[in-house]
Amino acid sequence: MSIFNMFHVAGSALTAQSVRLNAVASNMANADSITSADGTPYRAKQVVFEATPMGNESAQGVRVKQVVESAAPPRMVYDPKNPAANAEGYVSMPNVDVVEEMVNMISASRSYQSNADVMNTARTLLMRTLAMGQ
């Protein structure tokens, strides 16, 4: 693998993890939103990745295949005084699991940092290689 492919692979991972962090931020921000723009409870977003070839070598990067809504059912919270409550007094809340989102955030953040470190190390190696020729 050439050193330039390392930049492409790590860069693709940085882009993918950035999308994942944005999805987590959106989920966390809407964890207590009773209704979304269409009047239904907010549905958690999940990012789906896929491997993608980098050039004509065996290196593979990653890209976001799609962002999907979670299939988990909404949380039902008993709050009969809420105007959005149904006949039994339950309010449909977003299907966001805050603990799971925190785990996703930590994982995405660490992956992002690791790939940034790979790029910095590759840059340092490239600079030292160029300095040898002086």
Amino acid at 78: Y
Give the model confidence (pLDDT) of 12-34 as tens digits: 999 999 999 999 999 999 998 88
Q: Is 41 exposed, middle or buried (0-12, 13-18, 19+ CB in 10 A)?
A: buried
Region of residue 20 (left: phi > 0; alpha: psi -120 to 50; beta: else): alpha
pLDDT per residue, tens digit, the chain (134 aa), is 577 788 889 999 999 999 999 999 999 999 988 887 788 889 999 999 999 987 766 789 999 999 999 999 999 999 999 988 899 999 999 999 999 999 999 999 999 999 999 999 999 988 998 899 77
Tell me the C-alpha to C-alpha distance, in Å, between residue 54 and each of 8, 10, 48, 125, 134. Answer: 7, 11, 19, 21, 31
Tell me the C-alpha to C-alpha distance, in Å, between residue 57 and each of 2, 9, 14, 63, 109. Answer: 9, 12, 20, 17, 28
Q: What is the pTM of this model?
A: 0.86
